[in-house]
Structure 1
Amino acid sequence: MSVDDALSAVSEWGAPIVSIAGGEPTIHPEIDKIINELIKRKYFVYCCTNALLLERQLQKIPPSKYFCWVVHLDGMEARHDESVARAGVFAKAVGGIRIALEKGYRVCTNTTVFNDVMSMTSDQCLNSLPIWE
C-alpha cells in the first residue's frame, strides 16, 4: 500500500485513532512516512510490532503525544520465545522497549495470556519485565 493510499483510507474512515497492525508494519518501506504524516495530521497512531526492527524506526519517527509503539509479548522470556518459535526475540523486544522509553516514546504491550501465566497478577508480570532494571 502506498503512502497516499494509506492516508486516503484513514481519511475516508474519519476515525481519530489509527492502529497499524498485521504482519509486521515496520517492514513496510514507507511506514515512517505514513506514521509521520498521520501524526502531522493529529491522528492518534498505535503501531503494533514485534520490536525486532524497532531501533531502526526510532531514527525515522520522532516521539509524539500522538504516537505509541505497541509491542507484542506473549508472556515472559521462555513463553514468548516458544510462542514465536525463535530464541532471543523476547530479549530483543524488551531491549527495544527500553530504548524507546529512554528516547521518550510512549510504549504499550499487547500480550496474549495463556493458561500457564494466568496465575500471575498484572503487577507480578509487569514488575518482572527486565525493562525497569
Structure 2
Amino acid sequence: MLHIDIHSFSYKKGGIPKDESGNGGGFAFDCRGILNPGRIEEYKTQTGNDIGVQKYLEENTEMPAFLELVKSIVSINIDNYLARGFENLQINFGCTGGQHRSVYCAIKIAEFIKEKYPEGTEISLHHDEQHHLNS
C-alpha cells in the first residue's frame, strides 16, 4: 500500500512541511505564480475549499494548466512507486498564506489520485494553516 501525504502550507508562516516518513521529502509545488484570489475582497475570508474561490481559480487563472502538469508529474512517480512497492510519498502545495491556492491544489490532487488509483493507495490530506479543513 502506498501512503500519500498531501499538504497545503504557507511559505510565509511555516515553510515546506517536514517528511515524517523518513524518506527525506517529496514534491513541493509553488502555487504563488497563480493569481491570488485572497487579494479580492469577497474571497479574503474564504479558502480553496469554497466554491467561489474554486470558480475564480478555474476560470480566471492558469490553475487548470498548472494542475494538469502536476497530475502528469505526480502520476509518473505514483506508477513507479506502486510497481516498486514503495510505501510513502509526500506531495506539498505552498502559497503565501496557505489559504486559497495551496488548499485548492491539495484538494484537487487528492481527488485526482483517489479516482486514478482507487487500489493500492491511501491518502492523508493535511491543511497546515487551515486545520478546520483536515480530514
Using structure 2 for the length normalisation, give the TM-score: 0.34
- Higher radius of gyration, 1 or 2: 1
Q: Which structure carries more strand by proportion?
A: 2
Using structure 1 for the length normalisation, give the TM-score: 0.34
Higher relative contact order (CA 8 A, sep 6+): 2
